[in-house]
Structures are given as C-alpha cells and as structure tokens.
Amino acid sequence: MQKNLNIYRLRYMLILIHFLIVLIFSPLLLGIIGKTKAFFAGRWGAPLLQPYYDIFKLFSKGNVYSVTTTWIFQAAPLLSFVCILVSCLVLPFGGIHAPCFFWGDVLLFAGLYTLARFVMVIAALDTGSSFEGMGAAREATFSCLAECCLFLNFIVLALLSKKLILSQMVGGDLSVSWWTDGPALILVGGSYFMVLLTENARIPVDDPQTHLELTMIHEARVLDHSGWDFAFILYGSAIKLFVLGGLLVDVLLPLDHQPVLIQMGEFFVGMVILAMGIGCVESSMARLRLNRIPQLLTGSFILALVGFLVVLIRGV
C-alpha cells in the first residue's frame, strides 16, 4: 500500500517537473528567435527575456470584453492554454521520460492541438467581427492541410518504431536505427519542420509581427483578446512552439544509451539550435503569398510521402 502511494507520488512529481520545464523554458525560445532575427537585421534587438516581460505585463492587466461576446469568448483562451499544456505530458524531453503514455497517445497529442484550435476558432467567430471570422477561416484551412502531413509523419515514425506510443516512437530504438533509416528520418524531419512553421504561425506561412489585415492568419483571430486572455494566448503559443519543436528534436537527435544529464543537455542545445534555425528561416525568407501556402504544405506532404515509400521499400 505504502509502495503504491510512493509510485503515485513519483508520478505526480514527474508530471510537475514536466509542466515546470515547459512553463519556464518555453518563452525563452521566442526570445532566442527574436535575437537571431535582430542579429540578421544588424540590430541589438529586444532582451532575451522580453517574452517573459510581455507575458508578465499582460497578466498584470485587466480584461476588456465586448458586449457582443458570450462566455465562449472568455473561456477559450484558458481552455486552449490548458489543452496545449497538457499535450506536453506524452512527449519525452531528452532524458526526462514522458510521465503519461498509452497505446495510441499520438492521437491524443494531435487531438489536443485540434481542440485548442477549435475553441480559439469559435471564440473568434463569437466576436461577430468579419475580420476575425476571416482569420478563423484561414487558420482552419491551413491547419487542416497541415494535419494531413502531421499524420503521415506519425505513420512513418510508427512504421519505423512499430509502436503507437509517442514517447517510444520518437526516442529509444529510433536513434539506433538512424544509420539504417536515415533517409526516412531526414524526410520526416523536413516535412515536420514545415508543419511546425505552419502550426506556430512562423514566417513562410504567417508573419507573427505584422498587423496588416490582409496577410494575417493567427493574429487576426486573437485581435479582440486583451489582458489575461491575451497572456494565455501568447504563453500558449510559446508552449506550442516548445512542445512541437521538442518533438522534432526528439526525432532528429540520437539520444540513446547515455547518462540522463547528457541527454538533457543535448535536448536543450537542440532546442536552441532549432530556435536559431527558425530565426534564420524568418530572416532569409519573405512571407509566402496566401494562395501559395497550400503549395508549401503539399511539398511537405510529398516529403512525408516519399519517406513513407522509402520505409515501405526497405521492408517494414
């Protein structure tokens, strides 16, 4: 009885550690991206901790609600924040194992993001503004396309590892098979990177900086939120970048059979490199025209498709 209790306690500790890592480190990624972009532009840029200040500032403000909105509008930011936060539980961060796992938790992982997006979309529609409606429509369209690619990537990973548990699909055996399945992994990595950029509204798809009506996707959706709600949205998007990026780092970095500390170090170095990579992409590319974004995602889909075929040809 006592032993069981201890196991439960350990479990809760693990969950707590996972939440803490995500909550503490996720805004830092945004800071690194900002610094990288500033470096490319030849500026000094905002401090590395600026996203923390922003979020803190927003949390110390009050909310303003339009009279046309209902409880959906007020509940959505918190709901989507919680969805995104919970999704990190099925993903290992380097040496830190995922505290929750079960057969098929990949679907939960994707489903939580879809749920978060769904509540945000209906909140945007709830305002009754045609502008936010447009943002919501675009968001739904592109994420629908991105989801196809995401699932094809998961299929390839599942075929490689013969598991349907996310934490075992990305870590463990996969890094050992890097030398035999390298091409498929590279293809999945490339394809997933495009999905990552789409999901997180980074530059070739959507410009997080711009507030120009015609080009906005994610920003248009959250225009009416303020104060706490907006802080939840900002924090949520930072966590989303951290978790989805963490998945990419887990897939690409061989992390097996090493002390936990080295694995952790490797993971965090990988995350920093990823953030810098996103910064480089943002500095060196222009935002794509809206009608060319599906083309980018088609490219991502084809990458994943070729990866799938390569795995099939090697023999499952």
The answer to whether the beta carbons of residues 166 and 109 sit under 8 Å apart is yes
* 155 counts as binding another protein under rule CB under 8 A: no
Distance CA(67)–CA(230), nearest Å, equals 18
The backbone torsions φ and ψ at residue 281, rounded to the nearest 5 degrees and listed phi first, read: -60, -40
Subset of 189-218 contacting another protein (CB under 8 A): 190
Of 67-75, 178-186, 211-219, 249-257, which segment contacts another protein by CB under 8 A? 178-186
The answer to whether the beta carbons of residues 204 and 283 sit under 8 Å apart is no
* 104 counts as binding another protein under rule CB under 8 A: no
* 68 counts as binding another protein under rule CB under 8 A: no
Residue recorded with tokens 């032993």: 3
Report the residue from 5, 214, 313, 316 that binds another protein according to the rule CB under 8 A.
313
Distance CA(101)–CA(312), nearest Å, equals 27
Choice between 71 and 179, CB closer to another protein? 179
* 148 counts as binding another protein under rule CB under 8 A: no
Report the residue from 58, 84, 187, 253 that binds another protein according to the rule CB under 8 A.
187
Choice between 50 and 177, CB closer to another protein? 177
CB of 252 to another protein, least distance (A): 14
* 164 counts as binding another protein under rule CB under 8 A: no
Report the residue from 182, 209, 212, 262 that binds another protein according to the rule CB under 8 A.
182
Choice between 85 and 152, CB closer to another protein? 152
* 299 counts as binding another protein under rule CB under 8 A: yes
Residue recorded with tokens 């887990």: 250
CB of 176 to another protein, least distance (A): 14
Closest CA to 204 of 304, 292, 303, 276: 292
Alpha carbon dihedral 109, 114, 116, 117, in 10-degree steps, equals: 150
Choice between 220 and 303, CB closer to another protein? 303
CB of 301 to another protein, least distance (A): 7
Using CA atoms, how far residue 296 sits from 63, 145, 184, in Å, is: 37, 10, 19
Question: How big is the site for another protein, counted in residues (CB under 8 A)?
Answer: 22
Of 218-226, 255-263, 277-285, 303-311, which segment contacts another protein by CB under 8 A? 303-311
Q: Is 162 left (phi over 0), alpha (psi -120 to 50) or beta?
A: left
The answer to whether the beta carbons of residues 95 and 270 sit under 8 Å apart is no
* 141 counts as binding another protein under rule CB under 8 A: no
For residues 119-139, one letter each, b for 16 or more C-beta atoms within 10 angstroms of the residue's C-beta and e for the rest, the string is: bbbebbbbbebeebbbbbbbb
* 290 counts as binding another protein under rule CB under 8 A: no
In the complex, the residues that contact another protein under the rule CB under 8 A are 179-180, 182-183, 186-187, 190, 292, 294-295, 298-299, 301-303, 305-306, 309-310, 312-314
